[in-house]
Amino acid sequence: MKRQLFILFFGFLLYLLSGSLVLAQNFQFQTESNKVFQGKPEVDSLSKNNKLNQIIVTFKKKPTAGELIKLSRKSKKSRLKYAITGTDAMVFEVSEGVIQESLNELRADTIVESAVVDKALDLLYIPNDPAIKATPAPGKPILQWSLYNLNLVGSGRTAFDISKGSSGVTVAVLDSQVDSSHEDLQGKFSSLVDCTSGSCQTVSSMTANPSNLDESHGTHVAGIIGAATNNNLGIASTGFNTNMLYIRIRDQNGNMLISYFVNAVRYAADHNAKIINMSLGSLAANLDGPIIAQINDAVTYAWNKGVLLVAAAGNCGWNESHHKAAGDPCDIYDEAGNFVRHSVNEKYYPAASPNMLNVAALDVNNNLAPYSQHNDPTDPQIGNWISILAPGGNFSTNSDKEFGIASTWPLNSYYYNLGTSAAAPHVSGIAALIWAAKPVLTNLQVKSIIEQTANKNIASGTTNNGMVDAVKALDSLNVTITPVSPTPTGTPVLSSTPTLTGQGKPGDANGDNKVDGLDYVVWLQNYNKSVGNGRLSGDFSGNGFVDGLDYVIWLNNYNK
């Protein structure tokens, strides 16, 4: 049996004292004793539970009640515990120490297709001290540098000038525990849900603070996506007014089981989530084929219901020399649970699942963070599987902690950290801004807009599309901007349409070999229409429809 890995992509968004229009003007990290998160560094609380005692069973055909009863009674050491939502798969609980015996018994039954250990996900930490309070200092980056790098805030026109999100757009956050009483998360949860008992149930709060539920990671991720913004308190979030459906998938034993994850994904899809953020995962090499199939089936179900899927790409991009010994979250194990090797830049799930908007991490200078998973076309087992980049931060000592990402933390505090766990929620928040600005978009359109408007020149080659650019993504929607600076002086009038000769420049609709305002007018007049004459009608992509992608082509070639 492969040893299960818990994978945490831990990194967070930095929201501190700033003069920005959208940031809390008087924010500073709390230093009072009642505001400080006391205890050991968070990484120390993540003791892995290797005594997993659940088996996922799939069947050759849908079993009858009698067949399930008979199967469950075959062994006195296992019992049918619950079903996985939306599938015929069942979860059996097994007595400690006899899991291999139970696997053999179940696999031998004629109605069973597969029987595998219910593996677990986890929250992958970068080795450093996360419990660091910060004060801005000379020579350090601007405190909310990740928002500036993404063009959410800054000088001139920004993404928050175009969209401030909407409480009508819900991001489902699948994570550990969250401190729902945090001062900067009040009013931001549409619902709190626990999916660790075989079904998903709403709960009134998540503030008990049991150490094995690790509410710090979930609180941090939630803050990046949806902390209350422009409220003169704490931090600003990427999603601004966005709502969150928070789903806990870490149980009292510290496990984040695949069966919990599958039920949570389906629950989110069935309860009006537009986006699912997954700052978690497991190395593909540590997952059995049937487990990967369960993950893929769940996310495909959500995708087919119109949900955008966002996942952290993983924190095992370091070279082999970085790993000092067995025991870190990038380890590979054999079927018997024995350490085999360290993983270097291998695929993760659910990030590698179909239709996933998977996210690698950047540092403050827009370089690939050294820990981040990345594309490698020279290795056929890896290839070009990662889509985009977003800030995840990078620091190695307390003295340079400001180069990490900060966000909400339990007990009304705010902490720095780093990882692809931070990168993914940046993207989820931006996706929520896009959907708020144009609710008629499909999940495929939102995904395409984020990918097609990304800056491919940043960390070129490490992902397929480069770094997310929030302004370009929102610009592609042709949304009315309030306020706009500078104020437009009017729309140019197209007096005639010259005859097109050849293909011309990309974005050149009227064939005058220039890409200018006249071409924009052609695009605008045909926006959201099906056309048959290509760029003559502003269809610069040639897909037969004039949409936001054609605007991006025009914008990228304007005045060139």
Which regions in the chain score pLDDT beneath 50?
1-50, 124-135, 479-503
pLDDT value of position 496: 27
> Which residue type is seen at 391?
P
- Please pick, among 118, 161, 175, 251, the residue that the annotation labels catalytic: 175
> In 2-157, which ranges are continuous DSSP H helix?
65-73, 99-108, 145-149
Looking at residue 476, the DSSP 8-state letter turns out to be T
Q: How far apart are CA 94 and CA 338, in angstroms?
A: 21
CA quadruple 452, 453, 457, 462: dihedral positive or negative?
Answer: negative
* CA–CA gap between residue 445 and residue 439 (Å, rounded): 11
In terms of pTM, does the model score above 0.75? no
One-letter amino acid at 426 equals H
Rounded to whole angstroms, the Cα distance separating 158 from 483 reads 10
Which pLDDT belongs to residue 49? 44
Order of all β-strands in the sheet with 170-175: 201-203, 189-194, 243-248, 170-175, 275-278, 308-312, 357-362, 388-391
What does 209-256 look like in DSSP terms, one character per residue? --GGG-HHHHHHHHHHHH---SSSSS---SSTT-EEEEEE---TTS-E
> End-to-end alpha-carbon separation of the chain, Å?
59
User: What percent of the residues of the chain are helix, what percent strand, and what percent coil, each to the nearest 5?
Assistant: 25, 20, 55
Catalytic annotation on 217? Answer: yes
The class of domain 490-560 in CATH terms is mainly alpha
Beta carbons within 10 angstroms of residue 130's beta carbon = 23
**Which architecture does CATH list for 7-35+143-321+341-475?**
3-Layer(aba) Sandwich (3.40)
CATH fold for the domain made of 54-118: Alpha-Beta Plaits (3.30.70)
Give the torsion sign (CA, 455, 458, 460, 461): negative
Which residue among 122, 146, 182, 217 is the active-site one?
217
pLDDT value at position 497? Answer: 26
pLDDT at 353: 98
Residue 44 catalytic? no
List all residues 6 or more positions away from 87 whose beta carbon is below 8 Å from its beta carbon. Answer: 58, 262, 294, 297
Residue 138: phi and psi, rounded to 5, are -55, 145
pLDDT of residue 232: 80
Q: Which of 20, 259, 407, 421 is catalytic?
A: 421
Neighbours of 473 (CB within 10 A): 28
So where are the chain's domains? Answer: 7-35+143-321+341-475, 54-118, 490-560
- Give the up-direction half-sphere exposure of residue 77: CA atoms within 13 A in the CB hemisphere: 14
**Known catalytic residue: 184?**
no
Contact yes or no for 224/12 (Cβ under 8 A): yes
Burial of 211 (0-12, 13-18, 19+ CB in 10 A): middle
Paired tokens of 420? 């692809």
The predicted pLDDT at position 329 comes to: 76
* b/e 235-267 (16+ beta carbons within 10 angstroms → b): bbbbbbbbbbbbbbbbbeebbbbbbbbbbbbbb
